[in-house]
Structure 1
């Protein structure tokens, strides 16, 4: 009932409002118009009888347009036309330009351009062609091409001989860009480009490494003759160096159309050992989501190994190399060692890289993002930490590649930063880490490297308020400056990985030298550090059927799609000096990672628990003590290659090294002697600092009949009879130290303490 009453009331209100509105409209209609008394009397009868007459529209005459800008342009053109009449005739101008060219080509060409552009727009080929030929004689093909283009646009004829002369000028000047422009003008002029011309175009592009022009020439040259695979490989290398993925794809397509495309190992297939064509591999990488620029180097190295049977991805060691390496062992019995490895399939590496780099950015990942990646990779053999390390390598590779471009555009970047744009915004635009961009900006503002280092380490005192705020935000954003959060704690760091390899090998009874020992020996013998891997094996060792002489530790993931140029030179020097070796990756490696003369290993056989680690260390120590008393001949650590700057001033030491019995000395005893000598030097140096007059550090104060206890590049001290008891004391202390170490290792292995 209440609803019906409400509806009835609403209807009544609406009807009342409509009635009031109608009355108001009627009053407005009957009301007199303004100024109606002037026109006619305001009587309703007259208004009803008189019919309204049609309105008359008055036409306006057009007003002439008076624009001062148009008048100014008209007057200027009239002045130009009047001035053109005062110029000399075409023949006189031509003779004047000819005389002027004998003195200065630049002045003559300036007059020539001004006259043909502003002096006489009706010039024919007889006047313009000599200008083109003059540019060719002056080795200025760009100016001649500009004249020819204007002639063709104006409908002038350009004969073939002029174009040929201009082509010769481009060839002599190695002007690749101008040559490709001339090719387009030849086609526009109706000239037939033959096979010899295309070969010349390609040769000019080769001299200037012009990738875009070479791709265009290769597309046309393929239709008239067969192209060697080596030609394509050269331009693929150039495209990969300058990171031109579009040109890389075009050249791969041309290789497929020419029928010379090689088959390489797939980066995305689940089948182990599958091979696909190179273009298919690149398309698969792009389908995964990874930036193709990161995979160009890997695809090219795989193609290099397929075409030339060499390159960084070729077979690490052939049967011939293995046989030659074993021959260097001589009559020494090698130690065979089985080292199980678990490489990561390449398809997982590629997909993981595509997962974390779908949008290339230097933003530091958050903990939630890392946990999400870890959840996606939970059922796969590749871990989240491997993926994060792979991301860091890819971003560092991008940093190295883009450094030259960013330094070239440093003025533009500084202007953008001063205009108000943030470092993070500039980082996304220029594909460069924001903290590194701050270094570039400060460098462009005139600061030295030391000033930049101090400013970044102490920004409160050396940077402005805005720079401090931007640097603080960039530091939290930059994943290069501050690493992404890991899942758990890393298993190894750089030092612990080297120690783990050392203990693992010593526990097997293998004699070796660490990097510190090699550096000390080389400084003593040659005056400086020359070449030193992390571990040099003194005993002949065969790991997984491959003779190994040295081992280098890398505490990161060995990625296949990352360029190997950063470590290939270092490892190649080791191979040249000592022969084949091994590289141990602390976070695993791809099954397609390969370098010539190097085998890849991981940490699979290393102990996983603390108890197993203690047992390995006890075995390592016991074997080290045993090796001290081993007099068996080993391979030694002498250098065989020539290195610049080696100081070999001690003839007695050189004769001692030539002695065949030199390598038969006990290495442990030599280490003890070296440790004792270094301790003596430290004691004597401390005594000298306490101004003890009996020890002098100047050769002018040393008696001629006294023996000198000297080393290369070290202070000279007097050797006295009191050194013998001091040396005996040091040897005794060293022996006691060995006993304490043995006791500590045994207690650690058995789990007993001092109280027990």
Structure 2
């Protein structure tokens, strides 16, 4: 091989290495084929849960005589290609805060011709920012001394966040830690900002205002999530399905085990199939089910605990889901049949 041929060969290899990674996870069809046998086991575990000994967690001691429900649930998943296009639009370097009205309108115009809503796009943005935050944390920690030096020289936390592309609150944490603050002191100070000196108070307020990922106060988001769970449980009870809700299972498991062990949002005490698939439990997610690695791994770990106990179940996503999102033993559903009017009503803080 001549010198020019070798150079062309090297450039070709470099091009292959630098080839853009495919957006999202492995193709759903391939995963379904690969997991066919294990999914069958999960489905059988869901079907035999009423006759199993010992009885599964959360079931009454006396034998259950389950009613049978076969429900049809029309879903409208978002094409992966559309999610990929929107993903490139909704995340910007140095931008971790809540989206202002102008930016929302910009995103709305962008998705107008796509099979995604503004709410789905904003929820996708949140998932991507969470992943970006977690996966870049090691890099952030490695720059702690450099960031702390800039901070001591007067650069604000928000400016450091924009320059280095890390969430403001996480930047603030590593800066304070590099300046000698203990983790407990940081935690206590963030709970009581008035205990900090004036500059730190001002930096905290500015960082909180521009950070929706690492924000200390997520109470309003949790209130909406809890309400969505109630709406979902109410819907199934209106169909006549017997079930247990998460709060009562949490209380029961705290008494029996000292902590919650396995607490899906809904545990069915009847034999329920949805779109032909056995569903022993349901978890409600008040967000868009994006085909984003971090979110997918987090959900898989959580759902596996439920599958191990009761067999196959389902997730109902408030804002729909990607058509390529796949977890073995988990049926993906959107909120199409539900009346979500209560979610539009003003919350207690509005």
With the shorter chain as reference, the TM-score category is 0.7 to 0.9
Give the one of 316, 319, 322 matched to 1:584. 316
Specify which structure has the higher proportion of helix: 1
Give the one of 541, 544, 551 matched to 2:272. 541
Instruction: Give the whole-Å Cα distance in 2 for the aligned partners of 1:608 and 1:593.
Output: 23
> Given the superposition, is the C-alpha separation of residues 446 and 501 from structure 1 closer, same or farther in structure 2, using an over 3 Å criterion?
same
Matched, 1:500 2:222: no
Instruction: Give the whole-Å Cα distance in 2 for the aligned partners of 1:520 and 1:476.
Output: 35
Residues 435, 471 of structure 1: 8 Å contact kept: yes
Give the one of 438, 444, 456 matched to 2:190. 456
Matched, 1:473 2:194: no
Which structure: larger Rg? 1
Instruction: Give the whole-Å Cα distance in 2 for the aligned partners of 1:368 and 1:355.
Output: 14
Compute the displacement of 1:582 (Å): 0.4
Give the one of 99, 102, 117 matched to 1:368. 102
> Given the superposition, is the C-alpha separation of residues 543 and 375 from structure 1 closer, same or farther in structure 2, using an over 3 Å criterion?
same
Larger RCO, structures 1/2 (Cα 8 Å, 6+ apart): 2
Instruction: Give the whole-Å Cα distance in 1 for the aligned partners of 2:257 and 2:39.
Output: 34
> Given the superposition, is the C-alpha separation of residues 496 and 251 from structure 1 closer, same or farther in structure 2, using an over 3 Å criterion?
same
> Given the superposition, is the C-alpha separation of residues 482 and 605 from structure 1 closer, same or farther in structure 2, using an over 3 Å criterion?
same
Matched, 1:415 2:136: no
> Given the superposition, is the C-alpha separation of residues 461 and 252 from structure 1 closer, same or farther in structure 2, using an over 3 Å criterion?
closer
What runs of 5+ residues in structure 1 fail to find an aligned partner? 1-218, 224-246, 254-278, 283-294, 484-488, 611-756
After superposition, what is the alpha-carbon deviation per residue over 1:333-354, rounded to whole angstroms, capped at 9, x for unaligned? 6311112222122222111111
Compute the displacement of 1:361 (Å): 2.9
Count of residue correspondences: 315
Match of 2:70 in 1: 336
Match of 1:429 in 2: 163
Match of 1:565 in 2: 297
Compute the displacement of 1:302 (Å): 3.6
Instruction: Give the whole-Å Cα distance in 1 for the aligned partners of 2:255 and 2:190.
Output: 39
Instruction: Give the whole-Å Cα distance in 1 for the aligned partners of 2:311 and 2:133.
Output: 33
Residues 393, 562 of structure 1: 8 Å contact kept: no
Instruction: Give the whole-Å Cα distance in 1 for the aligned partners of 2:153 and 2:332.
Output: 50
The residue matched to 2:136 in structure 1 has which SS? helix
After superposition, what is the alpha-carbon deviation per residue over 1:463-486, rounded to whole angstroms, capped at 9, x for unaligned? 243x34433433333343569xxx
Q: Equivalences for 1:98-137 in 2 at 5 Å?
A: none
Match of 2:336 in 1: 604
Compute the displacement of 1:444 (Å): 1.9
What runs of 5+ residues in structure 2 fail to find an aligned partner? 1-8, 52-64, 343-350
Compute the displacement of 1:400 (Å): 0.8
Instruction: Give the whole-Å Cα distance in 2 for the aligned partners of 1:495 and 1:447.
Output: 35
Match of 1:521 in 2: 252
The residue matched to 1:504 in structure 2 has which SS? helix
TM-score (norm 1): 0.38
Instruction: Give the whole-Å Cα distance in 2 for the aligned partners of 1:580 and 1:515.
Output: 17
Residues 66, 269 of structure 2: 8 Å contact kept: no
Compute the displacement of 1:609 (Å): 5.5
Instruction: Give the whole-Å Cα distance in 2 for the aligned partners of 1:384 and 1:509.
Output: 34
Match of 2:242 in 1: 511
Compute the displacement of 1:560 (Å): 0.8
Report the RMSD for the aligned CA atoms in angstroms: 3.4
Match of 2:134 in 1: 400
The residue matched to 1:536 in structure 2 has which SS? strand
Compute the displacement of 1:533 (Å): 1.0
> Given the superposition, is the C-alpha separation of residues 360 and 429 from structure 1 closer, same or farther in structure 2, using an over 3 Å criterion?
closer
Compute the displacement of 1:552 (Å): 0.6
Compute the displacement of 1:590 (Å): 0.9
Instruction: Give the whole-Å Cα distance in 2 for the aligned partners of 1:581 and 1:558.
Output: 16
Instruction: Give the whole-Å Cα distance in 1 for the aligned partners of 2:189 and 2:341.
Output: 45
